[in-house]
Amino acid sequence: MTINKLYFSTDTHNWLNNGSQLLNYKNIDYAINNTELTNYHTSIPDIKTENIQKVCRLAREIYIVGITSKNISDLDYIDSSIIYPYGRLFNELHKMSHKVHGLECINDLTLDRLNSLCTINLHKQPVLWTAGCSVTHGVGVLATERWGNILSRYLNMPEVTLSSNGASIKWAADQLLRSDIKQGDIVVWGLTTFQRAEYALNWELKSNTVANIYRQKITNVRYSSLDYYDSTTHIVDTIRSILQVINFCKKIGVQLYLANLLEITLLPIILKDHTYFIDLAKEYDITETATYMDIGTDGVHPGPKQQQYYADQIFNFIKKC
């Protein structure tokens, strides 16, 4: 080994008064052949991705300066090529952890950190699980005015809701598949529109309408264009998520009810022959969006009367089934 201490940071880090020399792809061979132990500083752009393993192996000690999992996640939305090289660096640091200082930059990348599970069922008796987007979550109404809360009272079952503002069908499917749903429970899934997307923010998976993502510049959704979310590929992939939940609930002996609350294009047609599907969007006065019986306090989402209507219709549907 000819590299004594190797300091790793971003290419914008100020190394003044560090007492180390720059290591880049041009002088790697010199550093390898140098007989004197020398301290170096570097970054991925300086040494290039293909040399990461080589320089990490050569160093006696490695110091990580100013690199965190969060700022790498943030950079992902600026530079589409950032994750692979940093993934290579993190992989090498993990393998050589015995000589790395500042390993906390990757120690928080765990299954628990990336879990993003909405809630945990702490009830011992049978539970009503509700899943969906902001309509199910009850944006614009009181907690007691949500259709899921009303339905839980009708059924005399505690409710656990797997819902979130802007949640996609795929997000809800993931929550249902990984939750502690047991035989004897009831699942009612308030299906939303197809035009939703998932994105990672500081390694936590989130979801929102495609329109909001682009409008608010939450992320540039650089992995696909707006057109993708109206494509047959996206629709079929989304339906597959519904099929996975149907299969899961059937296998564990749990009754799943699918209630369309928002989708006004192909979803009701695709699910029309499914025994436990109810279309609650078919009565809407539709232009480009649905018109509700009343509006919640936020001026956008369904109000108490509409939520009551959902609860009544779903309850009657469950009794009929």
Highest average pLDDT, of 8-12, 72-76, 189-193, comes from 189-193
pLDDT higher than threshold 70 for residue 121: no
- Name the burial class of residue 287, with classes exposed (0-12), middle (13-18) and buried (19+) by CB atoms within 10 angstroms of its CB: exposed
Average pLDDT score over the chain: 90
Q: What percent of the chain has pLDDT over 90?
A: 66
Backbone angles phi, psi at 121, to 5 degrees: -80, 115
Amino acid letter, 151: L
Q: In whole angstroms, how far apart are CA 224 and each of 18, 47, 73, 137, 172? A: 42, 31, 18, 28, 21
Q: For the chain, list the domains and their CATH numbers.
A: 3-107 (no CATH), 128-320 (3.40.50.1110)
Q: Determine the number of helices (DSSP H) and then strands (DSSP E) in the chain.
A: 13, 12
Structure confidence at residue 78 as a pLDDT band (50, 70, 90): low
Q: Are 163 and 133 in contact (CB under 8 A)?
A: yes
Mean pLDDT lowest for which of 16-30, 46-60, 67-81? 67-81
Q: Are 253 and 124 in contact (CB under 8 A)?
A: no
CA 107 to CA 105: how far, in whole Å?
6
CA 258 to CA 190: how far, in whole Å?
6
CA 223 to CA 285: how far, in whole Å?
35
Q: Are 54 and 28 in contact (CB under 8 A)?
A: yes
HSE (side-chain half, CA atoms, 13 Å) at 197: 23
Q: What is the pLDDT of residue 266?
A: 94
Residue 38's DSSP bridge partners are 3
Backbone angles phi, psi at 39, to 5 degrees: -90, 135
Q: What percent of the chain has pLDDT over 70?
A: 93
DSSP tag of 302: B
- Name the burial class of residue 82, with classes exposed (0-12), middle (13-18) and buried (19+) by CB atoms within 10 angstroms of its CB: middle
Mean pLDDT lowest for which of 3-17, 95-109, 242-256, 276-290? 276-290
Q: What is the pLDDT of residue 224?
A: 63
Q: What is the pLDDT of residue 17?
A: 82
Q: What is the pLDDT of residue 284?
A: 72
Amino acid letter, 120: I
Q: What is the pLDDT of residue 214?
A: 75
pLDDT higher than threshold 90 for residue 223: no
pTM: 0.84
Q: What is the pLDDT of residue 37?
A: 87
CA 229 to CA 197: how far, in whole Å?
8
| The 186-191 sheet, strands edge to edge | 159-163, 128-132, 186-191, 255-260, 277-279
Place of tokens 């047959």: 232
Structure confidence at residue 211 as a pLDDT band (50, 70, 90): confident
Place of tokens 């899934």: 189
Other C-beta atoms lying within 10 Å of the C-beta of residue 186: 21
